Structure 1
């Protein structure tokens, strides 16, 4: 059978993020502060004392300083959100928001899934939604792959009328014409919108996976999607379609299952991640992991790392537009030229990034961002990389057999 036809849409170049210095208003050297281990929170008494000291310092008479202290409304907003989430953590609801909105269908695979880097998912869920009608010979199915943080809700449905993230592209007479095609969209494994991910419960111990969740790849996500297709009785796709990270998945599907994919449409995708992209996603992960509230991934019973998520989103947003577009949309205009400059968001572009971070920081699970973005970094359809991973899968094939014998973990048999 012929290999799938490929349509690839180019993406615009990203622009580098320019950091800026933050000047401390304290006269004490930061190098003289007590050493504190990462991912551990200072005792509440210490935090309270530090806050009280800061308030006293800020409220000293003007005669004690040449200039008044600046205000920091951006930090006030972060502190208020932390206090609100802390109060929620003491309630039955808990602090972790519910990321899934509206109705979707769920496919559950009871068969374990071996991942490329040796991890095992004993069982897993795939959240999905569909539009259109599957024809009698099941030959009109289109699998739509999502970007990093998207849910399966690509278009509104009867049970979830909220507009989807590709609302204009799906429907009668649209590019994905539901009068002709049966469109399926899933939330990727590793995500947090209904599919199994770090925030899911590990059936081995009844606790959330957190950072016990195994490293996964684009190909692992596609394998889980093909389990869903198998369950639907769909042997061959009319097309595999995706944008951004979804473009990576659409290419991976064609490379992994060429006999089952008729066409490939990759919009702003790539065959392997560029070092610049890896560097930008690394920076996002670093600012998130350095948020003490991340707690090495075990934050589900406390305040989530919303500050790190906010900053990570701001960094990501910088890469979503080109330099000329930033210039055209914002230039060097300030939000309020009548006010003195401030260290908090002041230029229009700063307020835009700040809003993007604020809007998103509690809409997606922090651990899912870490795992899914890492999967993007690992993506490489080059022959050398694929051969190496195939060798790893062969070495780890015994884990599925071991797991089937009743071991709690694949390595327990060797113990």
Structure 2
């Protein structure tokens, strides 16, 4: 077997020794193991430029380090994601790496398990497993949330999550789980229901944190601007993409009367730049006076359900910080907002303005407005055959096809630059 270990431990510790022992035992059983220390790989954050889809299909030319990693991933029989838990979720380092798996799938959509998902680029994909090292505050709820989010990532990665374990698992047992080729993946979880936030005690100002890797050019900034307009009071916008200013971002959070954090869904959770910020908030855990916090998660998938899993993490994050949880605004088809004229976004913008007005009036977010923005939450299963037919029509791909043709790479759109065996 060819096995790739993606070690997301940000600094050397006993967790490395644990993973090294896994490697040794796998090699003793005849497996070929590639153990990638992500902290030694000069990875760059995914910026959402889509160059890997529409300029150099299947390859991120902006990051040669990620090319090395993705080649090791797609040619493996099994990939072990490994990282310590940080603020209730595996490390920023592993999250950054997982965001760079985007070139391994295709921008086109298909229907899988009655949901919209990306089309596969390669014929075969590795089986996947997760092992984490618990932090002091890790509880069963953290592990459940993490497992389910990684299951969603595995589904979008055209594979399955075969186990989700902690480093308390004996090495020999974990090795056997990797080697067991007849095993079946973990059963997929049901989609969680929308969470419920509390009312915001009226405040004079809200600090808005834009977690889009595109910064001010992204859709998240538009969502926040409309929410701020509806709020009507004083507001401040902080762009998390400027990671060199993280200390200032944390200070802005500390001083805020209320906080709203928005980001696009990246590999079924938050972008790496957002996880970087969340981990920087760790010193505030246990302190009194952390601001109430709410969230916006928007994605390119048409259904709202894709964001419900990370929504549960965000609710738990608020609890971890001791902050009142104000709720999460979920929006599918968020990618189209920035390219559509305002009249086509009117219903969305009116909804965001209304929710902002809820905040100004000290009211909880209106559930009917939240549900309207999230529509469609899912598509009726009876429509799946119709949706499948639609996704085979040229119009369904026209957005990406236009960019591919403009860049002169339309004929290369199905390229598989890392293929060694299929």
Q: Which TM-score applies when normalising by structure 1?
A: 0.24
Larger Rg: 1
Answer 1 or 2: which has greater helix percent: 2
Answer 1 or 2: which has greater strand percent: 2
Q: Which TM-score applies when normalising by structure 2?
A: 0.23
Q: Which has the higher contact order (CA 8 A, sep 6+)?
A: 1
